[in-house]
């Protein structure tokens, strides 16, 4: 960053703007970095943290988190890819309403999502009561965790992918079709590969959001080790238990590492698909 300031590409005016913007940027970066570094340092110093890392409590939560967030991502892809394509390429009555609907969970507090899911799919819920009479109960099950995650995370995939589809020049698809390639094959061979970067970043956002889901899960799915206690719930549980901060730090470090790894992987593979690694 310092190199850029020292060797501006565009004249003096740009230089002064960059200089002006530098301190808020650095402060912002420090604001994000300091707590994360503090977490890592505390984890390093606190002997209990390493001990807790290998405990079944942490391993159960990690496994459940990975399984549920992956399932959520899979479901988000199955329903989200068609939805994103339709929203990007078709104009139909209710298009704008559907766009807003898809975005709504992104701005909604997850606790609201949890209460709403409970009211819909809970034992006495609009749909849940019917399911319950058929012997199918969702609350307190792993399925409820996946539903909660899907509700809050899928919009991130749809939003990103919709923008990706919209940015593709329809000419490519037209050419493919005039060459006699079916719509279905055109979608798989032309459209989706062109939208790959946005699919990837949308998928990563969706996955990490599912991984960090807390509020909706706590309300809708409850908190039970191995069944509904994902990493974020385990962090809360550890924080409020005798293990206290050490347990919470151990779990936080694991989740931080996973999230960081996912972001880096996405960056690298997106760079590759564009032909550069930056």
- Give the footprint of other proteins on this chain (CB under 8 A): 118, 122-124, 139-140, 218, 222-225, 227-229, 236-237, 239-242, 244-245
Q: Which is nearer to other proteins, 109 or 244 (by Cβ)? A: 244
CB of 61 to other proteins, least distance (A): 13
Q: What is the helix, strand, coil percentage profile of the chain, to 5? A: 80, 0, 20
H/E run at residue 26:
helix 11-45
The answer to whether the Cα torsion of 245, 251, 254, 256 is positive or negative is: negative
Q: Which is nearer to other proteins, 136 or 277 (by Cβ)? A: 136
Q: Taking a C-beta distance cutoff of 8 angstroms, is the pair 229, 61 a contact?
A: yes
CB of 223 to other proteins, least distance (A): 5
CB of 19 to other proteins, least distance (A): 22
Q: Which is nearer to other proteins, 105 or 125 (by Cβ)? A: 125
Distance of CA 203 to the CA centre of its chain: 7
**Cα–Cα distance measured from residue 210 to residue 173, given in angstroms and rounded to the nearest whole number:** 33
**Would you mind telling me the total number of residues written for the chain in this entry?**
278
CB of 124 to other proteins, least distance (A): 5
CB of 207 to other proteins, least distance (A): 25
Distance of CA 25 to the CA centre of its chain: 25
Cα 138 to Cα 24, 112, 180: the distances in Å are: 47, 18, 47
**Cα–Cα distance measured from residue 58 to residue 254, given in angstroms and rounded to the nearest whole number:** 9
CB of 165 to other proteins, least distance (A): 25
Q: Which is nearer to other proteins, 59 or 264 (by Cβ)? A: 59
**Cα–Cα distance measured from residue 28 to residue 142, given in angstroms and rounded to the nearest whole number:** 38
Q: Which is nearer to other proteins, 81 or 218 (by Cβ)? A: 218
Q: Which is nearer to other proteins, 123 or 267 (by Cβ)? A: 123
CB of 52 to other proteins, least distance (A): 15
- Which residue bears the tokens 């399911």? 131
Q: Which is nearer to other proteins, 99 or 141 (by Cβ)? A: 141
Q: Which residues contact 183 (CB under 8 A, 6 or more apart)?
A: 177
Backbone angles phi, psi at 136, to 5 degrees: -110, 115
Tokens of 227: 């069944």
């Amino acid at each position: 960053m310092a190199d850029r300031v020292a060797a501006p590409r565009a004249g003096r005016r740009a230089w002064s703007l960059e200089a002006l913007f530098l301190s808020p940027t650095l402060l912002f970066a420090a604001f994000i970095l300091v707590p994360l570094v503090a977490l890592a340092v505390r984890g390093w110093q606190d002997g209990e943290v390493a001990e807790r890392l290998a405990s079944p409590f942490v391993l159960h939560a990690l496994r459940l988190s990975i399984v549920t967030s992956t399932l959520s991502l899979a479901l988000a892809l199955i329903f989200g890819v068609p939805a994103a394509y339709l929203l990007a390429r078709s104009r139909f009555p209710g298009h704008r309403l559907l766009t807003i609907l898809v975005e709504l969970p992104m701005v909604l507090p997850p606790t609201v999502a949890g209460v709403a899911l409970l009211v819909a799919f809970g034992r006495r819920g609009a749909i849940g009561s019917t399911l319950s009479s058929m012997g199918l109960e969702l609350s307190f099950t792993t399925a409820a965790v996946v539903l909660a995650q899907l509700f809050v995370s899928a919009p991130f995939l749809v939003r990103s992918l919709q923008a990706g589809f919209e940015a593709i020049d329809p000419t490519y698809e037209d050419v493919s079709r005039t060459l006699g390639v079916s719509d279905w094959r055109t979608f798989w061979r032309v459209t989706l590969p062109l939208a790959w970067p946005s699919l990837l970043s949308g998928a990563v956002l969706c996955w990490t959001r599912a991984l960090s889901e807390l509020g909706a899960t706590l309300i809708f799915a409850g908190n039970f080790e191995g069944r509904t206690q994902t990493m974020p719930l385990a962090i809360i549980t550890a924080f409020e238990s005798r293990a206290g901060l050490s347990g919470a730090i151990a779990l936080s470090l694991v989740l931080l590492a996973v999230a960081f790894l996912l972001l880096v992987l996405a960056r690298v593979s997106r760079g590759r698909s564009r032909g550069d690694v930056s």
